[in-house]
Amino acid sequence: MKKLVLFMHTTLDGFVAGPKGEMDWIKIDDEMFDYAGKRTNEADTALYGRITYQMMESYWPAAGEQSNATKHDIEHSQWYNKVEKVIVSKTMIDAELNNITVISNDIEDKIAQLKKNDGKDILMFGSPSVAHALMRGNLIDDYWLFVNPIILGEGISLFKGVKEKIQLKLESSMVFPSGVVCLHYQKNE
């Protein structure tokens, strides 16, 4: 059975984006890329909302082939190009998309079915509206929260619409030189 793993940058006050979706406050460095890359390699499926998928698709397919590509660009581009992608969208049509499944309805049921498949984990980057739906359905198994040293005061909340308690257990934490703290929580069964 696959685990659903959420990778999300957040502010100290729990926002994943500013009021207009801005993410210019996110701090990323090579040490963080290396740390996250180890976890990325444990997944064979990437789960995105449409907006996050379009951002990823505009960069990652060819990022590793650029003359100025970093080690992270090369590694993540290779991973991105080989993994199965699942996109949650009501507007995309999957008829001509290779290695991509589009889910447009019954999101919780279809993700629950996807988790029953054999293979490595499902890794979800960003996509707050999808994360909200999956949290409400208690479908996320691991939370990797990269808490950035900033308070926005308003924006898109990480835990919007969560009505019931989700019991978590801290598995590990890592402090990066940038001041970002990665908190890895697993859902208590």
Query: 10 pairs with which residues across the strands?
Result: 147
- The per-residue pLDDT string of the chain (189 residues; one tens digit each, 9 = 90 and over) reads 899 999 999 999 999 999 998 999 999 888 998 888 888 989 999 999 998 999 898 989 898 899 999 888 899 899 999 999 999 998 886 556 678 889 988 999 999 999 999 999 999 988 898 999 999 999 999 999 999 999 999 999 999 888 888 999 999 999 999 999 999 999 987
- Domains in the chain, ordered, with CATH? 4-187 (3.40.430.10)
C-alpha 85/C-alpha 102 separation (Å) is 8
Predicted local distance difference test score (pLDDT) of residue 132: 92
C-alpha 19/C-alpha 15 separation (Å) is 9
Predicted local distance difference test score (pLDDT) of residue 38: 86
Predicted local distance difference test score (pLDDT) of residue 17: 94
Predicted local distance difference test score (pLDDT) of residue 96: 62
The DSSP element (H or E) to which 63 belongs, if any, is helix 60-63
C-alpha 50/C-alpha 113 separation (Å) is 20
- Widest CA span of the chain, in angstroms? 49
Strand, helix or coil at 146? strand
C-alpha 141/C-alpha 123 separation (Å) is 10
Predicted local distance difference test score (pLDDT) of residue 94: 55
Amino acid at site 105: N
Q: Which residue has the tokens 């697993």?
A: 186
